[in-house]
Structure formats: structure tokens, C-alpha cells
Homo-oligomer: A and B are copies of this chain.
Amino acid sequence: MANGKTGERTAAAEAMRPHDHRDCIRRVLDEAERRASDDRVNFTPVRRHALEILLESHAAMPAYGLLKRLDADGFGSQPPVAYRALDFLIGQGFVHKVERLNAYVACMYPHEAHTPAFLICRACRSVAETCVAPTPAALLREAQATGFAIERSVMEAEGLCRACALAEGAACN
């Protein structure tokens, strides 16, 4: 792209603006492939294809959308097909669920353990993922005070990405 290469461009910025998305796909897919063989888990055709589909864009895809695609591409047509693939991919950390949308996105940082945080555009449903420190301090403090053992955490922020904010502003004028 574009890009600019300043060195301090953030990940969210990457996701939200034009970039060579084939790089994203290749990079993540390679990583997944490698990790899967390392961990001796089966990266089967359905699972792989599900990940490919999710990688096609940074927008979040609902389960039944994924299912429709899998069906069209010759895999099963019943819900469990999609959900099993998703379970696997989530378990491996290749995919996150965006709770707010009941939808799924490919993880852009499959290599590092992290607490995913999302910037969710309510207009175009694009989702920018950003890595966040294992667990935010405030939360950790509360948890420790109660003896609550955090196993997994997420952050989700909803709003308007820049493109949509501009578009909306235009529409309202």
C-alpha cells in the first residue's frame, strides 16, 4: 500500500486501511500450518478451508455465513460442520469469536499468546484486532482480591471506523 513504513503504525491501523491483504493471508496461513504440524494436530481440509474463508477479510463473519460458504465449496451443510471447525480454530488460537457480533475473525497474531482486543465498526462490521497485555491491571487487581482465577479474557470496543465516520458524516449533511 500506501503503508508509509513509519515503524510505529499500529496493528489496528493496518486492519482498518488498505493493505496487501494477500500478505495477511499467506502469513497467517503459513504460521497456522507450521504450528499445526508442530503440535501434531490435524489441520484437515474443512478446518483449513474455514480459516481461509475467515482470512478473506478483516470483517467478522457469522457462523451461518461461514457455513454457507463451506457448503458452497463442497463441505457439509449442517451447523456442526461450521461449529466444529470453529471450535478447533479457536482452540488453536487461529480464530477469535467477537462476542458482540456473534461472529468470528481470523487472529492476526497466531504466534503470540495474548488477550485479544477488538475495535468493532458498527457500520461496516470490520474488526481490528490489537494485542493487549496479558490481563489489564485493573481487572487483575480485582481478580486477585477475590481469589478469582482468570483463564481467558477479551476486550471489545464498539464505534465507528474512520471510513464509516466520514461516510456517515457525509450522509447526514
Contact = CB atoms under 8 A, between A and B. Distances in A.
Interface residues of A, number: 44
B165 A158 contact: no
Contacts of A159: 143, 148-152
B146 A12 contact: yes
Contacts of A8: 145
A146 B17 contact: yes
A83 to B, nearest CB: 15
Interface of A: 8-13, 16-17, 99-100, 117, 119, 121-122, 128, 130, 132-133, 135-136, 138-139, 141-143, 145-162, 165
Given A136-B155, A148-B159, 13 more contacts: A9-B145, A12-B145, A117-B138, A119-B146, A121-B148, A136-B136, A147-B161, A147-B165, A149-B165, A150-B159, A151-B159, A154-B157, A156-B156
